[in-house]
Amino acid sequence: MSFRIASSPHHHSLAQTPALMRTVALAALPGIAAQLYFFGYAVLIQIVLAMLTAWASEAAMLKLRGKPVLVRLKDHSALVTGLLLAIAIPAVAPWWIVVLGTAFAIVVVKQLYGGLGHNLFNPAMAAYVLLLISYPQQMTSWLPPTQLQHHAVTGADPICLVFSGYSCQGFSVAQIKADVDGKTMATALDTLRNDLTAGKTVTESLQQPVFDSYAGLGWSWINLGFLLGGLFLLQRRVIQWRIPVALLGSLTLLSLLAWLADSDRFASPLFHLFSGGTMLAAFFIATDPVSASTTTKGRLIYGALIGALVFVIRSFGGYPDGWAFAVMLANLSVPLIDAYTKPRAYGHRPGI
C-alpha cells in the first residue's frame, strides 16, 4: 500500500483566502443596507455591474496570462474589489463609470502588476482616483438623501438614472439634486467645503438640511453601518486592529486639535469620523492586505499616515473627500515603511 507524502505542517487553520473574501463581503452588508435606505436601490445595480465586470475582466486576464482561471477566480478577490468600488462611487453614476472603473482596477492595477498580491496600489482606490480625475461631474453626482429629494427617485427611477442619466420622468441628475429653491444640494462634505470657501463658519454651514445633528444626513448611518461591519471583521480576525485604529486615531487627533484651535474653520472630529467614506476606508479599504504595510509597526504608521492625509485633504485640499488619494499616497510609501519597520528577529536584539 502506498502512503501519501506531504510536507509539514500537516495541520492547517480553517482560515482560507476565499472564505476571508466572503467574510469581507458579508461585513459590508450593514453599510450597504444604510446606503440602500438613504439613497435608493441604485447602489445594488452598481454592485451587480461591478461584480460582473470584475469577474469577467479577471477571467479574461487570467486566461491571457496563462493562469488557471477557475482556481484563481475562486479566491473571490476580484469580486471584493468590484464591490468596494461600487459602494464608493455615487449610486446614480452612469453605468459605464462603474464598468470602466472596475475593468481598469482589475486589468491594469491588479493583473498587469502581476495579479493578486503583487499590486502596488489598492485596485479599487486607484480606479476611483482615475474616475474622479477623468469624470469629476459624474463622480460627484451623489443624490441628496431620499428624504430631502424634491423630485423623489422612486420605482424604476434608479435604473433609468444609471442607464440613461435621466429619471423615468425625464429629470436629470442635476435637477434631482436641486432643492425647492433650485439650489443644488451636495453631500455634507461638499456643502461644508463650499460654505467655508464662501466665508461661512462651520456652525452656520451645519444649519443646512443636508446635515443632521453632527454629520451629513444619512452619511452618519452609512458610516455606522461600515463601522459595525469592520468590528465584525476584527472579531472574525479577518483584519487586524492596527490599521483602522491608527487611521481613526490620527484623524481624530488632528481634527480635534484643529477644531479646538479654530472651531469656526474646522469641523469637529465627530463630523470627520462619520462623514464621507471614513469607516469604509478605515475598515475595508486601508486594510486591504496586499497594498498595506505588512509589518506590525508599519501598519500603525500606514494607518496613521492615511488618517493624517485625509484630514489634510479634507481641510486644505481641492477635493471634498480624500480617501482615494490618501490611500494611494500611503500605498506608495509602503515599501519604505516596510523597510524601516522590519521586526527584530529572535536573538538579534542588540546588546544581548
Partner 1 sequence: MPSLFQQIKSGQLWDFHGGIHPPARKKLTSQVAIGQISLPERLYIPLRQHIGVAGKLLVKAGDTVLKGQALTAADNAMAIPVHAPTSGKVLSIEAYPSAHPSALPEPTLVLEPDGLEQWRPRHALDYLHTERPHLLARIQQAGIAGMGGAGFPTHIKSGASTGVDYLIINAVECEPYITADDVLMQHEASTIVRGIDILCKLLNPKAVLIGIEDDKPLAITAMQQACAGKADYLVRVVPAKYPSGGEKQLIKLLTSKEVPNGRRPLDIGIVMQNVGTVFAIAQAVEEDIPLISRIVTVVGQTLQHSQNIRALIGTPVGALLDACGFAPEPQQRVIMGGPMMGFTLPTLQIPLVKTTNCIIAPTRHELPAAGPEMDCIRCGACAEVCPAVLLPQQLVWYAKAKDYDQLKAHNLADCIECGACAYVCPSEIPLVQYYRVAKAEIRELAREELKAEQAKARFEARKERLERDKQQRAERNQALAAQRQSMLAEQQKQQILAAQQRQEQQPQETLSKEQIIAERERKKAEARAYQAAKAEQAEGSPAATAETPAADPRAAAVAAAIARAKAKKQADAVAHEPTPADSAPAEAAPATTAAQPDAETDPRKAAVAAAIARAKAKKQAETASPEPTPAESAPVAPAAQPESDTDPRKAAVAAAIARAKAKKLAEQAAATDTSAPDQTNPDQTAPVESAPEVAVPEATPDTTAPDPAAAKKAAIAAAIARAKAKQQSKPTEPEQPS
Residues that bind partner 1 (CB under 8 A): 1-13, 15-17, 19-20, 71-72, 75, 77, 115-118, 240, 289-290, 292, 294-296, 299, 342-349, 352
C-alpha closest to that of 79 among 113, 123, 119, 40 = 123
- Round to whole Å and give the CA distance between 142 and 150: 14
CA-only gyration radius of the chain, Å: 21
20 versus 281: smaller Cβ distance to partner 1:
20
265 versus 342: smaller Cβ distance to partner 1:
342
Burial of 170 (0-12, 13-18, 19+ CB in 10 A): exposed
151 versus 236: smaller Cβ distance to partner 1:
236
Which residues does 228 contact at the CB level (< 8 Å), separation at least 6?
A: 30, 31
Taking each helix axis from N to C end, the angle separating 29-39 and 77-88, rounded to the nearest 10 degrees, works out to 30
Smallest separation, CB 68 to partner 1 (Å): 9
Smallest separation, CB 77 to partner 1 (Å): 7
Q: Is the dihedral of CA 346, 296, 125, 47 positive or negative?
A: positive
318 versus 351: smaller Cβ distance to partner 1:
351
Smallest separation, CB 239 to partner 1 (Å): 9
182 versus 349: smaller Cβ distance to partner 1:
349
Smallest separation, CB 78 to partner 1 (Å): 12
C-alpha closest to that of 92 among 14, 28, 33, 176 = 176
Smallest separation, CB 243 to partner 1 (Å): 10
Contact (CB, 8 A) for 234 and 184: no
- Residue at 329: amino acid letter: L
48 versus 339: smaller Cβ distance to partner 1:
339
Smallest separation, CB 3 to partner 1 (Å): 6
Smallest separation, CB 8 to partner 1 (Å): 5
68 versus 136: smaller Cβ distance to partner 1:
68
Q: What would the DSSP string read from start to end of 98-165?
A: HHHHHHIIIIIIIITTTSTTT-SS-HHHHHHHHHHHH-HHHHT-PPPPGGG-SS---TTHHHHHHHHS
